[in-house]
Each structure stands twice: as C-alpha cells, then as structure tokens.
Chains A and B, each alone.
Chain A
Amino acid sequence: AQSVTQPDIHITVSEGASLELRCNYSYGATPYLFWYVQSPGQGLQLLLKYFSGDTLVQGIKGFEAEFKRSQSSFNLRKPSVHWSDAAEYFCAVEDTNAGKSTFGDGTTLTVKP
C-alpha cells in the first residue's frame, strides 16, 4: 500500500528566509504527487502537483517542488517566506488504481517576524 511520510511535524522560519518541507513516499508504480496547504479553520487548497515530465514543478503562491525518484521524495520549497505562508502543509500521493489519495500527517509552518 502507498504511504507518505512528512518527517517534520513543526517548522519555524523567519520571514524572508527560505523554506523546504520534506515529503517521502512509498508507491509501487509511477507516483502522482501533490502538495496542499491548509490555513487555520479552512479546508485544504492545492499548491502544486507532479505526474510526469519536468521533475521541478511550479505552483501557486511562489512554491515549487522537486520530484526525486531515486530518493522517493517530493520536497516543497519557497525562496522567501511571507508571514501569510503560516499554515499546515500536506503531501499526498494518488493511487490511480484505487482512485484515492493518501495524505501525510502534515507539517505546521510558523513564520517569525
């Protein structure tokens, strides 16, 4: 069965600093990977996805992620964090055979002024 691991439960960065959130997946076939963001009291919003082609994908709000098959990773990055980026971030892998996604446990991002 597929699984997703987000090793960091909580990350704190200063505003303007760079950010990297880690995601490792386990999936037998070609993975279809997603990053979502959840602002306080809200549902999840899709940031970006990967399913083929260029391994560096761009998303909304200035985020990008790099798929590395050899490391089974799909890490999310942003060069300069804004205070409004404080939220919880979820990595997910879609099981196309089963038609459902498996989510990681999430990483909470705190942004210091």
Chain B
Amino acid sequence: DVKVTQSSRYLVKRTGEKVFLECVQDMDHENMFWYRQDPGLGLRLIYFSYDVKMKEKGDIPEGYSVSREKKERFSLILESASTNQTSMYLCASSSRQDTLLYGYTFGSGTRLTVV
C-alpha cells in the first residue's frame, strides 16, 4: 500500500517560531500536496508540487513556503508561526498518470497548535 507519512501527529509551537512539517511518500508519486483543514472550511490547498524542486501556490499560500529537494519528501514551512495558523495539516500524494484511477493518498495529519 502507498504510504504517506507525516513526521508528527501533534505539535505545539510558539508564536514567531519557524516550523517545519515533513511529509514522506514511498510510492514514487510525482504529485504532492499540502492542505490545511479547519472546521466548517473543509480542505484548503496551500501548496503543491509536480516534481522535484517544483512548487505551485494553492489557494492560501500566504505565510507558508515549501521545499521539495527529493521526490519522496515535501516539506511545509511556516517562516514565523502565528496563532491563526493553528490547524490540522494534511499531506497528500498522487501519481501523475493514475490520479483519476486512485485519487490522492493522504497522511494522517499533523495537528499544529501555535501559542
């Protein structure tokens, strides 16, 4: 089975800290995505990537950046964490050829609290 692993289930960080959320997938997927999930707002796309060193802004990129130095790893960076970035963060991956067959594979999420 495809696995998407997010390094932390829960994180508590202080306002102003630089925060790294890590995501690793083990099925050689080209596409990787970062979403945040908030009650009543569904999933909102932050950034996505089609390939190594490539990135595209999603719907809510402000306050975030990403890094994809290796195909299997996609990192989300909060340069200076703020309390309004308290949320559940979900990473997902998909195969460029087979997205329509298999959809996205999601990690279990990282619940980030910024205090």
* Chain A residues engaging chain B, CB cutoff 8 angstroms: 9, 32, 34, 36, 41-46, 49, 51, 90, 92, 94, 96, 99-106
A99 touches B42 (CB 8 A): no
Report the interface size for chain B: residues with CB under 8 A from the other chain.
Answer: 27
A99 to B95, CA, bound (A): 11
* Chain B residues engaging chain A, CB cutoff 8 angstroms: 4, 31, 33, 35, 40-43, 45, 48, 50, 56, 58, 90, 92, 96, 99-109
- Interface SS of A by simple majority: strand
A106 touches B42 (CB 8 A): yes
Residues A42 and B103 in contact in the complex (CB < 8 Å), given A90-B43, A99-B50, A105-B40: no
B109 touches A105 (CB 8 A): no
The contact sample of 18 A-B pairs, CB cut-off 8 A, is A32-B100, A34-B103, A43-B92, A43-B106, A43-B109, A44-B92, A49-B101, A90-B42, A90-B43, A92-B103, A94-B99, A99-B96, A100-B33, A100-B45, A100-B58, A101-B104, A104-B42, A105-B41
Given contacts A42-B108, A44-B104, A51-B100, 20 further A-B contacts (CB under 8 A): A9-B40, A32-B100, A42-B109, A43-B4, A43-B92, A43-B106, A43-B107, A43-B109, A44-B106, A46-B105, A90-B42, A92-B103, A94-B100, A96-B100, A99-B31, A99-B99, A103-B43, A105-B40, A105-B42, A106-B42
